[in-house]
Every structure is written in structure tokens, then in C-alpha cells.
Structure 1
Amino acid sequence: MAKKKTYEQYLREELGSLVEQLKLPNLYKQSLKQRWIDQVVWADKKADQCRRMHYRLRLTTIISGVLLPALVGLNMPLPNENKGFPHWFRYVPFFLSQVIAVTAALDEFHRYGDRWRDYRKMAEDLKAEGWQYVQLSGPYDNLGDHIDGYANFASRVESIIKNDVQNYIATLQPQAKENEQIKQIIKTADTVATDKTLFDRPEPVGPPQQQQQQLWGTPAPAFPAAGAAGILQVRQNTEFKLSPSPQHSSLSDNYKIWVGGGNSFGLMSYAQADNNHLQVAIDRGLGPENRNVWFVSAPDVAIVGNIGSSAANLMATPAAPAPMMAAMARTPSPMMSAPPPAPTAPLAPPAPAASNGAIQLPVPFFSQRDNMEQAEGTCNTSSCAMVAKFLGANISGDDDYFQYVIKYGDTTDHSAQTQALAELRIQSTWNTNLDFDDLDKSLASRLPAVISILHHGPPSAPSGGHMIVAIGRNADGDYIINDLFGNLLDGYVSKNGDGLTYSRQELSRRWTADGPKTGWGRLFYGNNPPGTSAQNAPAQTAPA
């Protein structure tokens, strides 16, 4: 029995027979087979592969996402006939949460859905162009034979291929929004996976309506145990929702619940969300499906315990939320009913600001040139190491700090830097909308800042990418910089970049090159500058 041909073989033979019937020189026919037919078959094959992978991953994510809430909300006695069944059944939600995280991350990372559509469009465009050429229609309808239109056809085919390559390269550029979506998916799955009380909840004492009213309708009589990220206090009557949408009425009753002011929950993790909301994972399930992850309006709640800050203050920082690893690395402090007020004057602050606005913080200097590993690409690591050492981190230098970074990712990954700093008890946020006002506010709070500049070329046409540390400013409004690669002003001929002065004009063209509020940098609000205590730290205001 003859082996059945694949669609790829069938398509290649059919198109090849069409080319052979054209009145063209053999060289032209060979070129059409090697370029046009080959690209048509290749694009068609890649489109089919990406479609299958997209469907498989997306369906796995959807089905697992439907099953997970049902298993999490399941609250029934497990049979004891099979002693192993209760033991392994409690791990099913953990397994499903990891499946959701992995499949969603793989689909977003490989972009199978987008690539499927791009490849399919390319294949169909090439087929349509070839059909018009064979039939001498469309852009070829005024030609006498195929030889006259061959050059135009070849040019149009190459244009289609070139556009596809450009679209592919564009998709490789960093996309912060999609990266945040992946982080949120993984964080939600981790929250479910680490909840040890999913199948150990006590039986309700009273009727379900009474228990529900006591749980989230009226204030609880006492604080719960602090979670990994502290305690979530409800300041006033608010709604816990499954969406950060400000339109409460647009959500059905199954997607929101009312929570009375005065309630408190153990907080497992939190993250900033759209519309001035927080996404929180609490230690108790609420609602008919016992959900642990909700969205809540930030001004209506306060986060106290191991961070000692209100949610309203946290939302003032426009950066990405600290990862779950940062919250879980901290040890909860004694519970308090409200965030402690910040005194007006610090206790023995270091390097007080002069009346003319001049300030210089005693930040240590580390050169990246002598780094033991990846010396040419560790400006981000050496910059963060300087600030971490200044804020009291237990590290000997940037080589020591590098060992923390590589546990979470590449040294150029800002998320890896955030997690490495969090492990050292240093709070920080990465921002992409800073300006000189934000830099001045940070320095006025006696906190240095790590900023990203374009360090190649003249100020009129800068390029490249480099991290430096702003440690102060002088009376003229210029900034004092620790440049870990040397001196920018002499083209890095000088290797000593300790305490250099870069003018505001120079930085405006290299840091905020795209206009106001376009500077990239890392701020360190939430840490106590050297010489101050938690009770006497200067008031710190994050950028609005």
C-alpha cells in the first residue's frame, strides 16, 4: 500500500506543476521553486504548528482554570477507606495551579497565537500573489506574458517576506504589560499552591448565613495571624471584586462581595492593579466559592504588620509590585492597628541637605570593570549593590551581591534585581516614568536612586544603555553621580567614576531623552537611611 502524501508534499507538487507550465526560462522556474514555493510551504507548515500549540496550551489553561476553583472550594469529608486518597488529593490543587502558570507562561512567551496568525497571513499573501501572477490578473493584468511580470512578482514576494521578518523582530522587543500579566498569573497560582488551609477548614458552627455575616459582614473581634505579607485591614465598607473595574454595577453578584469596615485578614501577597486597586491574596476563602484572591480599592484598605505602610501610600508608587518572594522573605513584626506616623525630624540624619538644596550621600563606590563575572554587562548589579550596601545590606561588594541576583535571573533583568534586593531586606521599585522632580524627592529623603542613561554618542544623538547611581546634587542643580564604568564626560577614558558631577542638561538628554516623565530608574522608598531608625526616619513621599 502506497504511503499517503502529507499536505506539505501535496502543496509543493501542485505549485511546482503550475510553475512548470509557465513559459519562463529554466532559471526563473528554479528561482520560483526555491524561493516562492519554499516560503509558501514553510509558512503554511509553521502556521499549522503554532495553531496546534496555541490550542493545546490555551485549552489546558482554560480547563485547569475551571477545575481549580471547584477543587479549592470543595469542602467535604474525604473517604478514609483508601488511606492514600486523602493524602494525595490535597495536592491536586497545587498541581493544577502549576499547570495553569506553566501553560499560560509558555503561551505568552512563545506567542503561539500571534505567530499562528502571522504565518497564516504570510502564507495566504504569498499564495494570492502567485495566483495573480499565474493568471496575469491584478497588478499583472496589463502584461503580455509571464516573463514581463517576473521582476515585479519577485519584488512583491520579497516585500511580503521582508514584512514578516520585521513583524517577527518587533515581537522580540520587551513588552512590560505582557510580562506583568505573566507575573500576575504565576503569583495567583503560587498563592493557591501555598495555602495549607484549603482542605483543613473547620466545619461551620452556625447556619451558613450567620457564619458569612460574622466572617465578612461585621468587624472581626481580633486580628488574624499575619500572612507572608502582613495583615490586610478594611478601613471602611468596601467591595472585594474579581475585577479592578471601577464600575461596581457592571459586575454580577457572583463576582463581588461586600466587606464591612474593621475586618482584618492575613495577607499572603499583594500587587498593584489598574484603577487604583490592589490585587490581594488572603488567608481565608470568601464568597460562595471560597475565593482567596480579590481586587479591592486601595484607599479602602491598609496593609500593616511586616511592612507598616498603608495601601494608599503603596499605590502612590507607579512601579511594578514587589514579587511574592520579596514579601515572603520578610519576618512579620508585631501587629499594629494603624501605620505609625512619621516624625517631622529625623534622628541624626546623614548628610543633611543644605539651605541651597545641595546634598551628597555617602554611598560606597563599586567599579564594574573589576567584577569577577560578566564585567561588561553588570552595571545594573553594581549600581544596586552600591545602594544596598549604603542601606545596610550584609554584602561585601558587587561580586557578593551578584550571587543573589543570578538566583532569580539575568543581571540585566530588573525583576531579578528587585527580588535579590528583597532577599537582602531592601525595598525598591523599578519605574519607567520618572523625572528630575522624582530624583530630587528621593535625594531629599536621603535615598539614592539608580537611573538608566544612554551613554554612547554625543548628547544630541545618544544611544546605548547604562545604569548609574545618583547620590546627590549641588547648589547649581547638577547631580553627583557614581558611574561604575568611569567618566562619561571623557568617553570613559577615565576609569574612576566615584562622585562625578553630571550636569542637569547632560542628564536631560541622556536620561529623559524622550521628554518629561520618561526616565527609567529604581527608587528605594520604604528603607531607613543610615543613621535613622524606623521610628525617626524622615518622611518619604513616593512620586505621584
Structure 2
Amino acid sequence: MESAILEHNQGITVQPNYSPDPSGHSAPTPTSTQRTSGDRTRQKYNRLIDSPELQNLTFLEKEFLRQRWLDQMIWFSDKASLYRDRHYRIRIVTVIGSILVPAMISLGSVCTGAFFLQLPEATAVSPSAASTSPSTESATPAPIASPPSSASVSLAWSRFFLFTGLGLSQIVAILAGVDQFFKFGDRWRHYRSTAELLKTHGWQFLELSGPYESYASNGDHEAAFPVFANQIEEIIQSDVDGYVTQIATQKSFNQGIDNTRF
């Protein structure tokens, strides 16, 4: 019994920590700090592609899964996350700034009013300084007392609130214009819907469900692969056509604006 266990243990070789690369070569697995969401997704689906259930697929078909379907799905997902973060950050700053600007202007007006209320007391002249000789042809102007510290503080706060409100309003307007010009929200929703569509077709192909259900009885992924490849190419092509149409529409709109100026 012990000799059998020893022979079994001697037959086990320790494999290095490598993961399959999309090109078919082995690459070292990155550390946990270097792994990104896309890397983890790629490793997970690479294990599915190399699973025994898909062993009847040819090398080119597996390369299509890696280079065409998986890469595109990760690219769209990463772009969706990027534009989602940009859209959310701009929206948060815009909303908070829109609330703070009226408050800053109101506080600046209050501080300005407080400054002017304290101004008469600050400019009051003492009787001794105001007395002048009537026989003198040109009377020397009486010195004006400097405003008290409370008035100076009110003026400083008034300037701070007014200038801060003005600067914040410009930042809000610029960020709203940037978000409207680059359409971060629209791009996020577009990329997310395309990524989810690619993911849905990928899982339907792996499980032989949906449009590939007719091949489930034999478990023949190779026979279902042409249908899957055609679906993926149509999704990618529709995305390209939509982008070209958007660029053409934007260009014609800009040309129409230029023509109305002359």
C-alpha cells in the first residue's frame, strides 16, 4: 500500500504558476497586486476555453474565442467602466457645485451688507480732528479713522465667498460642457450594452442555449461555432457602423452651423 502511494506521489510533477496566454504560449501569472479586473476575466475565460468540453474545437476556433470574442468583450467592459467613472465624477462635482454656488453668493452678500453696516462707525471723525479755523483759507482735511477689525473681516469673507462662488460656477459650467461634448454617459451605456451582449452570446455558446440550443443534444460546439462567430462579427460590425454614423451626423451638424454663419 505504501509503495503504491510513493509511486503515485513520484508521478506527480509540480507545475509552475503559469497561465495560458491568448497567443497560445505560457506566461507567468501576475501577482495579486498586478492583476486587474480584465486580467482576472481573461484567466477565467481562458480556463473555460481550454476545458474538456471544448476540446473538439480547432486551434483557429479557440484563437477566435480568445482574440476576437474575449478581447473585444474585455475592451468594451473596460471602456464602459472608464466612461462610467468619468461621467459619475463630473455629475457629482456638477451637482455639488450647483448647490454651493448660490450658497456662496448669498454668504458673500450677507458679509458685504455687514461690512457696510459697520462702515459708518469706522469712518466717524473725532471732534478734535474735525475742528478747523474759520480764518484759514484752505482747511486741512480731517484724518479718517481706519475701519475696525470686524469690518475688515466682513470684507475679507465677502470677497472670499463671492470669488469662490464665481470660480466654482465656472468650473461647473466647464465640466457640464465637457460631459456634454464627449458624451461620457452615452458612451458608458453604449459600451456596457455591447459588452453584456458579447458576454451573453459567449455564455449561450458555452452552454449551447438560446440560438445554439439545437446543438445541445449532441454537445457539438464545433458545429455551433459558425453561428456563434457570425453573431459576434455582426455585433462588432454594428458597433462600428453606429460609431461611423455618429461621426457623420456630428460632422454634418457642424457643417450646417458653419453655413448659417455666412
Q: TM-score range by the shorter chain?
A: 0.5 to 0.7
1:64/1:14 Cα in 2 relative to 1: closer, same or farther (>3 Å)? same
SS at match of 2:32: coil
Q: What residue identity is the alignment partner of 1:58?
A: R
Aligned to 1:174: 250
Q: Aligned-pair distance for 1:88?
A: 3.7
- 2:100 is the alignment partner of 1:67: yes
Q: Aligned-pair distance for 1:31?
A: 1.7
Distance 1:129 1:54 in 2: 28
1:77/1:88 Cα in 2 relative to 1: closer, same or farther (>3 Å)? closer
Aligned to 1:14: 44
Aligned to 2:91: 58
Aligned to 1:326: none
Distance 2:73 2:234 in 1: 14
1:67/1:3 Cα in 2 relative to 1: closer, same or farther (>3 Å)? same
Give the alignment partner of residue 118 of structure 1, picking from 190, 214, 234. Answer: 190
Q: Aligned-pair distance for 1:171?
A: 3.1
Listed one character per residue, the Cα deviations across residues 142-182 of structure 1 (whole Å, up to 9, x for unaligned) are 12301111111111001111122222233332399xx9xxx
Query: CA RMSD for the aligned pairs?
Result: 2.7
- 2:164 is the alignment partner of 1:92: yes
TM-score normalized with structure 1 length: 0.32
Moved over 3 A (4+): 81-89, 412-415
Q: Aligned-pair distance for 1:92?
A: 1.2
- 2:96 is the alignment partner of 1:44: no
Aligned to 2:212: 140
Listed one character per residue, the Cα deviations across residues 286-317 of structure 1 (whole Å, up to 9, x for unaligned) are xxxxxxxxxxxxxxxxxxxxxxxxxxxxxxxx
SS at match of 2:99: helix
Aligned to 1:350: none
- 2:233 is the alignment partner of 1:158: yes
Distance 1:72 1:59 in 2: 20
User: What pairs up with 1:179-190 in 2 under 5 angstroms?
Assistant: none
Q: Aligned-pair distance for 1:18?
A: 0.9
Aligned to 2:201: 129
Distance 1:163 1:58 in 2: 29
Q: Aligned-pair distance for 1:413?
A: 7.9
Instruction: Say if 2:105 and 2:162, in contact at 8 Å, map to a contact too.
Output: no
Distance 1:38 1:124 in 2: 13
Q: Aligned-pair distance for 1:77?
A: 2.3
Listed one character per residue, the Cα deviations across residues 321-345 of structure 1 (whole Å, up to 9, x for unaligned) are xxxxxxxxxxxxxxxxxxxxxxxxx
Instruction: Say if 2:38 and 2:78, in contact at 8 Å, map to a contact too.
Output: yes
Which has the larger helix fraction?
2
Distance 1:70 1:3 in 2: 46
Q: What residue identity is the alignment partner of 1:164?
A: D
Q: Which has the higher contact order (CA 8 A, sep 6+)?
A: 2
Distance 2:176 2:246 in 1: 18
Give the alignment partner of residue 28 of structure 1, picking from 61, 82, 90. Answer: 61
Q: Aligned-pair distance for 1:39?
A: 0.4
Distance 2:172 2:100 in 1: 11
Instruction: Say if 2:198 and 2:235, in contact at 8 Å, map to a contact too.
Output: yes
Structure 2 unaligned spans of 5+: 1-30, 113-149
User: What pairs up with 1:294-309 in 2 under 5 angstroms?
Assistant: none
**Number of residue pairs the alignment of both structures matches:** 186
Distance 2:32 2:203 in 1: 29
Listed one character per residue, the Cα deviations across residues 16-46 of structure 1 (whole Å, up to 9, x for unaligned) are 1111121211121112100000001101100
Aligned to 1:538: none
Q: Aligned-pair distance for 1:69?
A: 1.9
Q: Aligned-pair distance for 1:83?
A: 6.8
Distance 1:51 1:101 in 2: 20
Aligned to 1:419: none
Q: Aligned-pair distance for 1:110?
A: 0.9
User: What pairs up with 1:482-497 in 2 under 5 angstroms?
Assistant: none
1:102/1:43 Cα in 2 relative to 1: closer, same or farther (>3 Å)? same
- 2:111 is the alignment partner of 1:77: yes
Q: What residue identity is the alignment partner of 2:172?
A: I
Distance 2:37 2:202 in 1: 18
Q: Aligned-pair distance for 1:89?
A: 3.2
1:522/1:7 Cα in 2 relative to 1: closer, same or farther (>3 Å)? closer
Structure 1 unaligned spans of 5+: 180-409, 416-451, 453-520, 524-544
Which has the larger strand fraction?
1
1:19/1:91 Cα in 2 relative to 1: closer, same or farther (>3 Å)? same
Distance 2:111 2:201 in 1: 65
SS at match of 1:142: helix
TM-score normalized with structure 2 length: 0.64
Q: Aligned-pair distance for 1:82?
A: 8.1
Distance 2:99 2:251 in 1: 28
User: What pairs up with 1:371-450 in 2 under 5 angstroms?
Assistant: 414=257
Q: Aligned-pair distance for 1:85?
A: 4.2
Distance 1:175 1:92 in 2: 38
Aligned to 1:400: none
Sequence identity percentage: 35
Q: Greater Rg, structure 1 or structure 2?
A: 2
Distance 2:162 2:261 in 1: 41
Q: Aligned-pair distance for 1:124?
A: 0.6
